[in-house]
């Protein structure tokens, strides 16, 4: 709003001056906007001890501000041309035509960023966003030469960040396999020993996975099924790091998108010939690199909550905390749709996580394998009726709905009235929202709480 006020103040009755001011103020924000979008060299994330996912919210806000200013700039000029019978003349002139093209590109950028479009096809949003972001600076340069300083700054930082990410990307020989009884895909990639340390010392981080040309299902370099992977960089949390073998483990759930569909196909081929495939890993990224010391004296108790493959974020943190401080009071709650979804994690000794009494596993549907027959589910209770795993398989829960988060949170906070608590969650948006509301009740009671919601969603 203050930018709009600055635009109007001082222009007097000069209509064209106001019109140009809208444009120059909008363009002047491009360097900051591009800096906010960077993944590797984001100065705002560094200053705020955060990550590019966290500062992305400000990227979106500033994007809307820029969109409003350039739309006002274009609207005022079109009105001027129409009122002075210049519209026919101007649509054949290079500078106005570039301006019209730019405003169409900005509308396309804003339109594909709407949640309805992103949920329908994230690929459309991403490809449009990338191509328009690359095209805008040179187009603005020829449209308004005096604004060239802003646009070349923007393009320079954008390209430097891409180059930095390319330099840091590791092409790993990866074992890809399907996890039986699930729609999960497990990937175990070999990382150079010189790079494995940055993964090991930062639990809870994620990478961006891409498929190099040699591993793509379609080998024709001009085919759409091949080119789509030029714009496919999917984030996956690093589920485990094995320093002795220099390997990182990722777990992905198969959806209808090109990335996980291709990974499932690669897993099928690998099960036949046993060969590893080359996959590109860019990272690690994430707020976890700048978390407070969860294993230190800053917190008295830690609650980790995961839904589905969200455990790829919480489980490494859980294990790291107990490795650094075996006396730490940490509890992990993990909700899965069926018992097989919880079979992929094993510790360094090959034991299942269900042997750990500090991990509560809730199964919201399906039978528990090895439970000695069918388990009766209770769907008519307000709370989820929880059927335990057989002895020696830890504490599991099963029912027709999600576990009672309010009860879990209340029981956790009541264990110590003055304790400093950290709560971290990674899972479906509804789960995180419900957990936040229940934790908020205790925050209002003046409890000290450090909160983090790990999410790739907008």
pLDDT (0 to 100) of residue 424: 94
Spatial neighbors of 173 by CB under 8 A, at least 6 apart, are 189, 190, 276, 277, 278
pLDDT (0 to 100) of residue 352: 63
Cα distance from N-terminal residue to C-terminal residue, the chain: 23
Q: Where are the domains of the chain?
A: 2-165, 169-288, 292-453
Q: At the topology level of CATH, where does 292-453 sit? A: Rossmann fold (3.40.50)
What's this model's pTM, rounded to 2 decimal places? 0.80
Map residue 303 onto helix, strand or coil.
strand
For 404, phi and psi rounded to 5 degrees?
-80, 95
**14: which 2 tokens?**
């000069």
Give me the residue label for tokens 């075996």.
326
pLDDT (0 to 100) of residue 130: 86
Q: pLDDT (tens digit, 9 = 90+) per residue, 352-391?
A: 666 677 888 888 875 444 333 332 222 322 232 223 333 3
pLDDT (0 to 100) of residue 5: 46
pLDDT (0 to 100) of residue 227: 81
Spatial neighbors of 367 by CB under 8 A, at least 6 apart, are 338, 339, 374, 375
Q: pLDDT (tens digit, 9 = 90+) per residue, 143-180?
A: 887 777 777 877 888 888 888 888 888 898 999 999 88
Q: pLDDT (tens digit, 9 = 90+) per residue, 283-325?
A: 888 888 888 888 888 899 999 999 989 999 999 999 999 989 9
pLDDT (0 to 100) of residue 441: 93
pLDDT (0 to 100) of residue 458: 57
pLDDT (0 to 100) of residue 393: 39
Domain 169-288 superfamily per CATH: Translation factors (2.40.30.10)
Task: Name 106's bridge partners.
Answer: none
Task: Name 184's bridge partners.
Answer: 253
**430: which 2 tokens?**
């509804």
8 A C-beta contact, residue 248 and residue 238: yes
pLDDT, mean of each 10-residue run, the chain (458 residues): 48 79 89 88 86 87 92 90 83 82 88 84 84 85 80 82 87 90 90 86 90 83 80 88 90 85 83 78 86 89 92 92 90 88 72 73 64 30 31 42 83 87 91 92 92 79
8 A C-beta contact, residue 305 and residue 438: no
């Amino acid at each position: 709003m203050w930018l709009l006020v600055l635009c109007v103040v001082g222009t007097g009755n000069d209509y064209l001056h106001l019109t140009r001011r809208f444009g120059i103020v909008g363009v002047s924000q491009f360097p900051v906007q591009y800096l906010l979008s960077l993944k590797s060299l984001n100065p705002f994330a560094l200053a705020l001890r955060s990550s590019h996912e966290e500062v992305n919210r400000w990227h979106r806000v500033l994007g809307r501000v820029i969109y409003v200013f350039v739309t006002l700039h274009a609207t005022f000029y079109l009105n001027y041309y129409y009122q002075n019978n210049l519209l026919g003349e101007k649509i054949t002139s290079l500078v106005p035509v570039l301006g019209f093209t730019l405003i169409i590109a900005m509308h396309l950028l804003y339109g594909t960023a709407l949640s309805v479009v992103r949920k329908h096809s994230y690929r459309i949003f991403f490809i449009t966003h990338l191509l328009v972001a690359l095209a805008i600076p040179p187009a603005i340069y020829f449209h308004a030469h005096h604004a060239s300083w802003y646009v070349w700054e923007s393009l320079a930082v954008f390209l430097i960040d891409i180059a930095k990410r390319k330099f840091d990307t590791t092409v790993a020989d990866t074992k890809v396999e399907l996890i039986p009884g699930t729609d999960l895909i497990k990937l175990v990639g070999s990382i150079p020993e010189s790079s494995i340390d940055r993964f090991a010392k930062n639990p809870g981080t994620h990478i961006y996975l891409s498929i190099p040309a040699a591993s793509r299902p379609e080998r024709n370099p001009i085919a759409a099924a091949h080119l789509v992977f030029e714009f496919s960089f999917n984030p996956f949390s690093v589920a485990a790091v094995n320093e002795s073998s220099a390997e990182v483990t990722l777990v992905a759930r198969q959806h209808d998108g090109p990335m996980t569909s291709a990974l499932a196909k690669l897993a099928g081929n690998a099960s036949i010939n046993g060969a590893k495939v080359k996959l590109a890993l860019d990272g690690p990224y994430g707020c976890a690199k700048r978390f407070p010391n969860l294993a230190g004296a800053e917190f008295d108790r830690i609650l980790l909550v995961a839904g589905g493959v969200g455990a790829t974020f919480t489980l490494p943190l859980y294990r790291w905390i107990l490795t650094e401080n075996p006396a730490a009071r940490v509890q992990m709650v993990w909700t899965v749709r069926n018992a097989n979804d919880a079979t992929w994690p094993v510790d360094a000794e090959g034991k299942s996580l269900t042997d750990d009494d500090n991990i509560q596993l809730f199964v919201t549907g399906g039978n528990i394998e090895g439970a000695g027959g069918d388990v009766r589910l209770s769907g008519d209770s307000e709370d989820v009726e929880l059927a335990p795993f057989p002895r020696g398989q830890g504490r599991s829960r099963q029912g027709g709905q999600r576990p009672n988060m309010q009860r879990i949170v209340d029981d956790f906070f009541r264990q110590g009235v003055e304790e400093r608590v950290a709560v971290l969650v990674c899972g479906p948006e509804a789960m995180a929202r419900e957990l936040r509301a229940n934790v908020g009740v205790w925050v209002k009671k003046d409890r000290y709480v450090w909160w983090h919601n790990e999410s790739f969603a907008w």
